[in-house]
Copies of this chain bind each other. A is one copy, B any other.
Amino acid sequence: MQENNRKRRILLIVSYDGTNYHGWQLQPNAVTIEEKLNEAIFVLTGEKNQVIGASRTDAGVHALGNAAVFDTHSRIPAEKFSYALNRILPEDIVIQSSKEVKRSFHPRHCASRKTYEYTILNRTFPLPEYRNYAILFYGILDLEQMNKAAEYLVGEHDFASFCSVGAQVQTTVRTIYAAGFEKQGECLKFRITGNGFLYNMVRIIVGTLLEVGKGRLRPEDLEKILMAKSRDAAGPTAPAKGLKLLEILFEEETEEACGQQADSAVEK
Q: Which residues of A contact B (CB under 8 A)?
A: 15-17, 62, 64, 82, 86, 91-96, 125-129, 131, 133
Residues of B within 8 A of A128 (CB): 15-17, 62, 91-94
- CB-based contact B91/A17 at 8 Å: no
State how many copies of this chain the complex holds: 2
Residues of B within 8 A of A131 (CB): 17, 91-92
Q: How far is the CB of A161 from chain B (nearest CB, A)?
A: 31
| CB nearest neighbor in B for A244 | B129
Residues of B within 8 A of A16 (CB): 128
- CB-based contact B17/A129 at 8 Å: yes
Q: How far is the CB of A87 from chain B (nearest CB, A)?
A: 11
Residues of B within 8 A of A95 (CB): 125
| CB nearest neighbor in B for A14 | B128
> Out of B17, B62, B96, B129, which one reaches A125, CB within 8 Å?
B96
Q: How far is the CB of A55 from chain B (nearest CB, A)?
A: 16
Q: How far is the CB of A88 from chain B (nearest CB, A)?
A: 14
- CB-based contact B129/A133 at 8 Å: yes
| CB nearest neighbor in B for A64 | B127
- CB-based contact B127/A94 at 8 Å: yes
Residues of B within 8 A of A125 (CB): 15, 82, 86, 94-96
Residues of B within 8 A of A126 (CB): 86, 91, 94
Q: How far is the CB of A182 from chain B (nearest CB, A)?
A: 14
| CB nearest neighbor in B for A62 | B129
Q: How far is the CA of A92 from the CA of B16 in the complex (A)?
A: 20
| CB nearest neighbor in B for A89 | B128
Query: What would 25 A/B residue contacts be, using CB atoms closer than 8 Å?
Result: A15-B125, A15-B127, A15-B128, A16-B128, A17-B128, A17-B131, A62-B128, A62-B129, A64-B127, A82-B125, A86-B125, A86-B126, A91-B126, A91-B128, A91-B131, A92-B128, A92-B131, A93-B128, A94-B125, A94-B126, A94-B127, A94-B128, A95-B125, A96-B125, A129-B133
